Structure 1
Amino acid sequence: MSLLEVNNLKKVYKTRFGGQEVEALRDVNFAVEEGEYVAIMGESGSGKTTLLNILAALDKATAGRVVLQGMELSGLAEKKIANFRRDNLGFVFQEFNLLDTFSIEDNIFLPLVLSGKKYSQMSEKLKPIAARLGISEILKKYPYEVSGGQKQRAAVARALITDPKIILADEPTGALDSKASDELLRLFGEVNELGQTILMVTHSAKAASCAGRVLFIKDGEVFHQIYRGDSTNQSFYQKITETLTLLTQGGNQ
């Protein structure tokens, strides 16, 4: 059984005025195996953010199923969703989502605090993660005192500290300069090699070229997918850009 299974997923919104229906997702099907690193790409409005929100249990599908390690998300009671999200999912956002009134350390600890862990337990768990991500020296600082790259590494640490089944990353390099982006993608590669499953939504072909597989979303469906195989980052990048060109041309015909 796959770690994550998405079957016949559909999402329909009603517009605020006029009550017209907008089909954001129409028939999405894919699976993610444990330890995979998958990127999702598509033009603005293709449905990829809606898909990520449903996978994150932040939104509910109109129809279809999302199953994470045998547990169907639509079957969760409302009061259990927050606990499910905290215990099973790690999040890395474009804008970091760090609280400025909390130190870097306390931001990272937050999901463990919410689950009732003791400070000594949290501290021991953070040490190896902080060392691996190179943020041990900034743990007592506040988000406004560190760089964008350091903020994003703190966000990755916060995602990893709960030992999530899967990390969901939403445009994680979007607010970073090229150097910080390269560093974050290197870190993602390292944690993936250690067995962490990652699902990343991105506009960046360079970011996607670091993944093992890329899903292309078009008009609310999985239009195409390509696998890295033995490709280098550069050759995989070329395959991705060629596919994106075909995707765009197909939409203009």
Structure 2
Amino acid sequence: MALLDVKNVKKIYTTRFGGNQVEALHNVSFSVEAGEYVAIMGESGSGKTTLLNILAALDKPTGGKVYLKGNDLGKIREKEMAAFRRQNLGFVFQDFNLLDTLTLKDNIFLPLVLSGKKYTEMESRIAPIAEQLGISKLLNKYPYEVSGGQKQRAAIARALITQPQLILADEPSGALDSRSTDELLGLFNAINDNGQTIVMVTHSVKAASTAKRVLFIKDGEVFHQLYRGNLTSDEMYQKITDTLTVLTTGGEHRE
């Protein structure tokens, strides 16, 4: 059984004025196996952010189903949803979403505090993660005292500390400089090599070229997908670039 299973997902929005309907997603189907690292790409307005919000159970599809480890997200009651997200999903955002009034350590601990974990367990969990991410000496600093790259490392630690089934990343390198982006992508690969499943939405060809598989969304549908296989990052970069060219010029994709 796939870890994540997306079946015939549709999303239709009704505009506030005039009652016009906009179909953001049209019959999207794909699955993600445990341990995969999948990037989702597409032009602005292609539906990828809508799709990510549905995978995160922040929005509900108009039609179709999303299953996480066999659980139908549409059947989870609203009052149970926040706990389900904390227990199963980790989030990494472009703008970090750290609270400036809390230290990095307390930001990382926040989902565990909300889950009622004991402090001794939180401390035991944070130590190996902080060491892996290279932020052990920064934990008592506040977000405004560290760099963008260090903030993103703290955000990744917050996502990992709940031991999630799946990490969802939304443009994780979007606010970072080139060096911090390289470090972030290296960390994602190391985390994935340890068995963590990652689904990342990105505009960045560089970021997507480090993933094991890339899904391309066009006009609300899965247009094409690329598997990394034995390709180098440079070869994957070129294949992604070629596919995006076809996607933006409206041609038919050819293998």
Same fold (TM over 0.5): yes
The aligned residue for residue 178 of structure 1 is 178
Structure-1 residue corresponding to 2:242:
242
User: Corresponding residue for 2:123?
Assistant: 123
1:11: Cα distance to partner?
0.3
Residue 51 of structure 1 is matched in structure 2 by 51
Q: CA-to-partner distance for each residue in 1:112-136, whole Å, 9 max, x for gaps?
A: 0000011111011100000000000
1:203-227 CA-to-partner distances (Å, cap 9, x unmatched) read 0000000000000000000000010
Partner of 2:33: 33
Counterpart code for 2:47: G
Pair 1:68 & 2:68 matched: yes
* Separation (CA, whole Å) in 2 of partners of 1:139 and 1:181: 21
- 5 Å-filtered alignment, 1:72-221, equals 72-221=72-221
Q: Which runs of 5+ in 1 are unaligned?
A: none
Q: TM-score, normalised by structure 1?
A: 0.99
List structure 1 runs of 4+ shifted beyond 2 angstroms.
Answer: none
> Which residue is 1:4 aligned to?
4
Equivalent residue letter for 1:112: L
Mapped partners of 2:90, 2:233: distance in 1: 25
Shift of 1:19: 1.1
User: Helix, strand or coil for the counterpart of 1:231?
Assistant: coil
TM-aligned CA deviation for residue 34 of structure 1? 0.3
Structure 1 match to 2:21: 21
Give me the identity figure in percent. 71
> What is the one-letter code of the residue matched to 1:34?
A
Distance 1:216 1:157 in 2: 28
- Where 1:23 maps in the other structure, the secondary structure is strand
CA distance in 2, matches of 1:49, 1:143: 26
Q: Under a length normalisation based on structure 2, what TM-score does the superposition of the two structures give? A: 0.98
Separation (CA, whole Å) in 2 of partners of 1:83 and 1:119: 19
